Structure formats: C-alpha cells, structure tokens
C-alpha cells in the first residue's frame, strides 16, 4: 500500500513587526495606544467616547492626555464645556502634526522591517547583528516637513502637489502621475516632505517667483560655518524650521535675526505617506 506523504516545506519566517515608544525619565510619553487615543478624539470629539474606542478607562485616558500635555510645548486638545452642542474635546493643529509625525516614523520603520529577511533563528548571533545594523537606517534629509495636501494639479505627465505647512506657508512638490496614484493622494491627506539641505538656497533678498521653484520667507536663526559650506537654519512663519547648506561665499550676505528667503526646486521634495 503506497503511503501518501506531503513534501516537507520550510516553515515561513514570521513577519517582523515593530512599535515606537518615545521615552522620558518619567516613562513613555508617546506610544501606539496614546496616538490611537488622539486619533479617536479627532474622530469623535469626546474624550469619554475616544477612551472606549481605544479601549482605555476614562481615568487612564485622562492621565495619558495629561502626561502628553505636560511634555508638549503646545496644548494637544481644546476643550469646550456646555453650550448648545454639549461641549466636547478636539485636537489642536499641533496635536495633528504630532500624530502625523508618529505615523510617518511608524511607516518608515515598518518599511525597513518589511525589507528584512525575517526573524533570525534562535542562537543565530551573526543574523541578529545584521538585523540590528539594518534597523539602524536613518534618512539623510535634514528637512522632514509635516504638511497637508492642499491641491493636486495634473500637468500632463507631471503632477504638482500643493502642500500646506500651516500659517500660510505653502510649497509645491512635483511628482509623476504614477506616484500620485500609488500613494492615492487626495486633498486633505497628511504626509511628510523630505528635502535635503544642500538642495535649499537662501537669499537675503526676495527672489522673483519662477516656475518649478519654491520660495518660502522666514527669519534666519542660525549660521554654522564649516570649512567650505555653512549650515543655515531658517524659521518659517508658522514656527517650523528649514535647514539649508550653502557655500561659504553665498553665506557672507546672510545675518542671523534678519529676513531671508529659501528657494528649492519643486521636484526636489520626496513625499512620504503613512497609514
């Protein structure tokens, strides 16, 4: 009697999953559950209902929100009591940017994990060291700007994505239609734009507007000269900063505390979505 046997197949390696927790000496400030709490507050407009969604007890949700508020430089929520609508809780713009930053970091982390070969076998020290080295990857882009899609313009082969940084600062990232489709971009989406500092030029006088070039006004906060190039920090109107690295000869016209204008090509911004 012939025996039926299935050919043995190697067990698939379990996928790698990560989590992000921002710590202080007093404990975790940001974690997945706290970010989900903020997202739920944004959806339902009530701390009590948001706590049930996470789920957390009302006290645990209140304590988490209080801890985050104590460590944040700006309020995370605005509360309204009474009135015709019965009051409620809503996120501030700062809190939405914080959530966007967390989700962007989470997405970048998972993208790295998805590219790794899997969980190393028990006792496989070389594989574990390789895994740790790969997980230490960082982006070289000095500017990682949280923004919201304000508009999409198809130019027939290219798409201009208008991005709102808040407080009136808007710039454009030019991408291909295929990229816009694969990222499923739409007005209102929150994402990150990465712009390398050497791609940013600084001017002491307002440059004329040109097609394919972004222009953002701000105040020059710091200059750090190097042997051949100077690192510059420009504070924009909404409080965000933009980093630039310019040749020393170009930096001679720049002075800290004075108005300055940043210029960079619309196709030099790399967009990162999350969620």
Cα 31 from Cα 20, distance rounded (Å): 6
Strand, coil or helix: 54: coil
Q: pTM for the complete prediction?
A: 0.52
The C-alpha R_g of the chain, in whole angstroms, comes to 23
Model confidence over 5-36: pLDDT tens digits?
444 444 455 566 666 666 555 455 678 889 99
Q: Given this model, what pLDDT does residue 107 score?
A: 74
Tokens, residue 253: 């016209």
- Tell me, what DSSP letter sits at residue 4? P
What would the two tokens of residue 124 be?
Answer: 């496989």
pLDDT of residue 7: 46
pLDDT of residue 225: 92
pLDDT of residue 138: 53
CA dihedral for 42, 43, 45, 50, sign (positive or negative): negative
Residues of the chain with confidence (pLDDT) below 50:
1-11, 26, 83-86, 134-137
């Amino acid at each position: 009697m012939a025996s039926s046997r299935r050919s043995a197949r190697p067990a698939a390696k379990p996928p790698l999953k990560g989590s992000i927790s921002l710590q202080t000496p007093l404990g975790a400030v940001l974690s997945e559950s706290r970010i989900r709490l903020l997202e739920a507050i944004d959806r339902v407009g009530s701390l009590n209902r948001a706590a049930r969604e996470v789920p957390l007890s009302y006290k645990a949700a209140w304590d988490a929100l209080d801890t985050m508020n104590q460590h944040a430089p700006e309020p995370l929520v605005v509360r309204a009591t009474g009135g015709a609508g019965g009051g409620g809780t809503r996120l501030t713009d700062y809190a939405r940017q914080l959530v966007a930053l967390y989700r962007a970091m989470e997405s970048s982390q998972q993208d790295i994990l998805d590219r790794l070969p899997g969980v190393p076998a028990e006792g496989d020290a070389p594989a574990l060291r390789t895994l740790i080295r790969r997980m230490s990857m960082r982006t070289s882009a000095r500017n990682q700007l949280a923004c919201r899609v304000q508009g999409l313009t198809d130019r027939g082969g290219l798409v201009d994505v208008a991005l709102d940084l808040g407080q009136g600062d808007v710039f454009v990232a030019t991408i291909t239609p295929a990229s816009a489709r694969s990222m499923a971009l739409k007005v209102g989406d929150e994402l990150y734009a990465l712009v390398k500092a050497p791609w940013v030029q600084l001017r002491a006088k307002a440059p004329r507007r040109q097609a394919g070039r972004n222009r953002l006004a701000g105040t020059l906060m710091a200059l750090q000269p190097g042997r051949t190039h100077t690192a510059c920090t420009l504070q924009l109107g909404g409080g965000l900063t933009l980093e630039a690295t310019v040749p020393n000869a170009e930096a001679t016209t720049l002075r800290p505390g004075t108005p300055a204008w940043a210029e960079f090509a619309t196709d030099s911004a790399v967009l990162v979505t999350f969620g």
